[in-house]
Structure 1
């Protein structure tokens, strides 16, 4: 039984989990999970996902307390069934994907999310009318989110494709996202345990990182009234651009 000793792992993992916690606290809630892409620069991507899951579960507890009963039951009924199916699909292929393929997927998701976000924020873009709820669209993107969440904890971008156009108010969007991923993360503990991702090394490493969970969430709640989403998004987007490009490069080189 041991923890990861590479100092660069801790240099990258600590700020990555704080930023992830800030996002889970409802501040810039669409920023995505940067922990796995950053850790995957040092350790195999599947191991990074295994280390991240217990910490994300702890963050979910703090996030649920912060956003209690502010979620949309209507949207959760639409997206949760697809998300659960996505977990099953992701668990089925998890062991079939080598480290290079997972790095390529994680990096590709990060860059695709970055490109989509920058395109939507381009100057002069007309603001569209709010979209209508759709069981078909919500179920599909919930499934995609559950799949990518299982493989690499990267379910935020696909879910945002469905939820963002609905133009929910900020609190409802944050709370609904928190509940969805809380359910996803706790259900994922079952396949992750069977897949060997909750090994002693991974769990001990998660335990060391665990104090960052409430810290990041509380910081996210505190920042809501003190910093604009634009500044935070710029920080996260810069990190995603660098790490996404590096992971895609490493993934292509390893295929």
Structure 2
């Protein structure tokens, strides 16, 4: 991993994009930064660079939503996420980099497929709230996908959307959940050697970009439509996800 011009030409837009999503568009597409970086880095380096920056974004976003979350829903997702994180760590220990490229690519493409199916009515949203047990299950899925590619948002959203929370409560619960899950991921990431001198240096250089992205997201939230933003996101994810799948299989 070299911190050269190519790296920063890819990394700065990726971090900005994640911050914009977290700051203005309910975090739904923030994980797109990891597939983007995985085009030029190993999967481990990509997720290792992004985790501390996502944690910085979490702290920035936590204060405005302090204590406005649904405690029960957040608790179920966080506790359910623990075995998912453990499974992700076990897979990382034994899997080749191409396996993780494939998984990251499948998560990216699968996310787009799910969103298209949901918007077209092929997948119905829950008619009534999921049971508490289902919350732990969705938390497990969120923990696994979050460990692999920081993509825990979609599984968590499936559960939270069924609860018919207010917009603010939904956002606050999401912020709290991933603040905790990202903290919990930090320990196995460090133990597995995902962090390195290069990723730490990258974090130092990219740290100012993270809060800038959040502020830009708040500004753009009032100026461009959410539909336009997510259409761009889906196209971006299909291209990067497809490229990662191709690279993993060839």
**Please, what TM-score do these two structures have when normalized by structure 2?**
0.92
What does the per-residue CA deviation read over 1:2-33, in whole Å, with 9 as the maximum and x for residues that have no partner?
Answer: x7234333222211111111222252432241
SS of residue in 1 equivalent to 2:146: helix
Cα drift, residue 222 of structure 1: 2.6
Aligned equivalent of 2:150: 153
Check the 8 A contact 2:24/2:220 in 1, yes or no. Answer: no
Aligned equivalent of 2:94: 96
Q: Please list every run of 5 or more consecutive structure 1 residues that lacks an aligned counterpart in the other structure.
A: none
**Is 2:16 the partner of 1:18?**
yes
**Cα RMSD, aligned residues only:** 2.0
**Equivalent position to 1:176, from 170, 173, 177:** 173
Aligned equivalent of 1:164: 161
Cα drift, residue 252 of structure 1: 1.4
**Is 2:228 the partner of 1:220?**
no
Cα drift, residue 131 of structure 1: 2.9
Question: What does 1:239-250 correspond to in 2, within 5 Å?
Answer: 239-250=236-247
What does the per-residue CA deviation read over 1:25-66, in whole Å, with 9 as the maximum and x for residues that have no partner?
Answer: 252432241111001000101111111111111111101023
What does the per-residue CA deviation read over 1:70-117, in whole Å, with 9 as the maximum and x for residues that have no partner?
Answer: 211121122111112211221222121111000100000000000110
Change (3 A) 1:166 1:239: same
**Equivalent position to 1:65, from 63, 66, 88:** 63
Cα drift, residue 223 of structure 1: 2.8
Cα drift, residue 228 of structure 1: 1.9
What does the per-residue CA deviation read over 1:114-154, in whole Å, with 9 as the maximum and x for residues that have no partner?
Answer: 011011122x7798565314222211110111112112212
User: Higher helix proportion, which one?
Assistant: 2
**Is 2:203 the partner of 1:206?**
yes
Aligned equivalent of 1:115: 113
